[in-house]
């Protein structure tokens, strides 16, 4: 619980602070006087004032933030301060200022993807196992050994690509065409993802009955100073049995290791033409509040993709584009009714995801932060009054008509926008609670 809370707070603070800092930089660029820069709402926990007179605040409720400029709509502005007043700036400057927050979120996400890619990627070839009888994958005609080549015409390189591509078709009525390789031939299978569209919070594979082929218990890369290294295991060893129990797949071996932290495991392996018995003691590791065992071995057959600082730049941009298009597509399906409003998630689901990814590791948590940052950026560009996108639209209208919109219209629009956003937030929280108690 504590890990979940701390991970949630850390993610929200970083993503919100970057968003508001984008607005802040744009205001400073155009000579706007910034009165307050706040991360969070409610009671002040920490505050300080810089030499420009801006109060920087960290507040007690980490569910957003704001930048408050000097503005005639909030208070009377003396004539000598008019040069630093926000609403008096040209419409194009205000448009850039509103767009700077979401843009900062997208830049942050790109930077996180770049950092992740510098550490390299591990790819597992998408070879399917036998599908669950009667499942969508079974009815589509999947067979053991099928190699997934493309989803709806988009090529996939590893198993991680498959759910990402299927996600693009959530809520659609037509089955998704999946191209698979079978020996020297290919086949296109029609996969009905309706069951997953009804419950998109779940991973698609168990819902659709799609399985990855079991990997043989073949030792891959071994970490330095790991229990496997200390026991004498070598890359290429085939694990035959543990404590007299035969091992059929790498997954079976992982389960035994996980369930026996700190306990000696008599491990029989085949190395070249001979068999050896080695004693491996899994290292106890804390994960998601429980102690599990690890020996520091990767599954053989994984493909490691390395990136340099320059080659990671376009790869990170491609990752950003994929995430952005997925979120935009999902929002469009919510508007058109192809996706149910029950799929909306609120702060409880976000906190849960933050805790789970933090428990998995730094890379998973960074990936979650990138997704959260893209989501915040895209959502704020929606053309809804109160959100950045709404004010951008009003600025464009002002430029087209050659004069500002009336203060009364803007005030009424903001109230309507606030009601809309508040209603969506309440619906998202309701959905969260229903998932927690379902």
Of 20, 85, 165, 283, the catalytic one is: 20
Distance of CA 25 to the CA centre of its chain: 26
CA distance 347 to 369: 14
Write out the chain in H/E/C secondary structure.
CHHHHHHHHHHHHHHHHHHHHHHHHHHHHCCCCEEEEEEEEEEEEEEEECCCCCEEEEEEEEEEEEEEECCCCCCCCCHHHHHHCCCCCCHHHHHHHHHHHHHHHHHHHHHHHHHHHHCCEEECCCEECCCCCCCHHHHHCCCCCCEEEEECCEECCCCCHHHHHHHCCCCCCCCEEEEEEECCEEEEEEECCHHHHCCCCCCHHHHHCCCECCCCCEEEEECCCCHHHHHCCCCCCEEEEECCEECCCHHHHHHHHHCCCCCCEEEEEEECCEEEEEEECCEEEEECCEEEEECCEEECCCEEECCCCCCHHHHHHHHHHHHHHHHHHHHHHHHHCCCCHHHCCCHHHHHHHHHHHHHHCHHHHHHHHHHHHHHHHHHHCCCCCCCHHHHHHHHHHHHHHCCCCCHHHHHHHHHHHHHHHHHHHHHHHHHHHHHHHC
Catalytic site residue 185?
A: no
CA distance 426 to 430: 6
Which residues are CB-neighbours of 239 under 8 A, at least 6 positions away?
217, 218, 219, 247, 253, 267, 268, 269
Centre a 10 Å sphere on the Cβ of residue 144 and count the other Cβ atoms it contains: 12
CA distance 428 to 434: 10
| Catalytic (active-site) positions | 20
């Amino acid at each position: 619980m504590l890990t979940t809370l701390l991970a949630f707070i850390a993610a929200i603070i970083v993503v919100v602070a970057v968003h508001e800092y984008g607005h802040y930089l744009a205001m400073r660029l155009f000579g706007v006087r910034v009165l307050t820069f706040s991360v969070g709402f409610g009671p002040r926990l920490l505050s300080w004032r810089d030499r420009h007179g801006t109060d920087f605040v960290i507040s007690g409720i980490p569910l957003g933030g704001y930048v408050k400029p000097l503005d005639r709509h909030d208070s009377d502005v003396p004539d000598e301060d008019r040069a630093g007043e926000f609403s008096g700036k040209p419409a194009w400057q205000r448009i850039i200022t509103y767009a700077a927050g979401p843009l900062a979120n997208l830049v942050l996400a790109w930077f996180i993807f770049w950092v992740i890619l510098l550490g390299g990627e591990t790819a597992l070839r998408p070879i399917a196992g036998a599908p669950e009888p009667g499942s969508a994958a079974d009815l589509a005609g999947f067979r053991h050994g099928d190699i997934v080549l493309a989803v709806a015409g988009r090529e996939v390189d590893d198993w991680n690509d498959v759910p990402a591509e299927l996600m693009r078709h959530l809520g659609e009525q037509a089955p998704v065409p999946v191209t698979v390789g079978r020996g020297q031939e290919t086949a296109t299978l029609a996969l009905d993802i309706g069951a997953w569209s009804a419950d998109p919070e779940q991973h698609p594979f168990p819902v659709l009955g799609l399985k990855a082929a079991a990997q043989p218990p073949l030792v891959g890369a071994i970490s330095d100073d790991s229990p496997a290294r200390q026991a004498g295991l070598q890359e290429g060893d085939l694990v035959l049995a543990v404590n007299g129990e035969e091992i059929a797949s790498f997954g079976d071996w992982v389960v035994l290791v996980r369930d026996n932290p700190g306990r000696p495991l008599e491990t029989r392996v085949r190395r070249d033409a001979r068999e050896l018995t080695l004693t491996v003691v899994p290292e106890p590791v804390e994960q998601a509040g429980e102690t599990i065992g690890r020996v520091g071995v990767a599954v053989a057959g994984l493909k490691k993709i390395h990136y340099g600082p320059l080659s990671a730049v376009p790869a990170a941009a491609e990752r950003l584009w994929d995430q952005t298009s997925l979120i935009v597509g999902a929002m469009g399906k919510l508007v058109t009714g192809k996706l149910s409003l029950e799929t909306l998630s609120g702060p409880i689901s976000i906190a849960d995801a933050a805790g789970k990814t933090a428990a998995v590791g730094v890379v998973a948590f960074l990936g979650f932060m990138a997704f959260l940052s893209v989501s915040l950026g895209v959502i704020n560009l929606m053309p809804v009054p109160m959100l950045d996108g709404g004010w951008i639209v009003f600025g464009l209208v002002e430029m087209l008509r050659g004069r500002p919109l009336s203060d009364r219209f803007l005030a009424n629009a903001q109230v309507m926008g606030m009601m809309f956003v508040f209603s969506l937030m309440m619906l998202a929280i309701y959905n969260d609670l229903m998932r927690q108690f379902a």
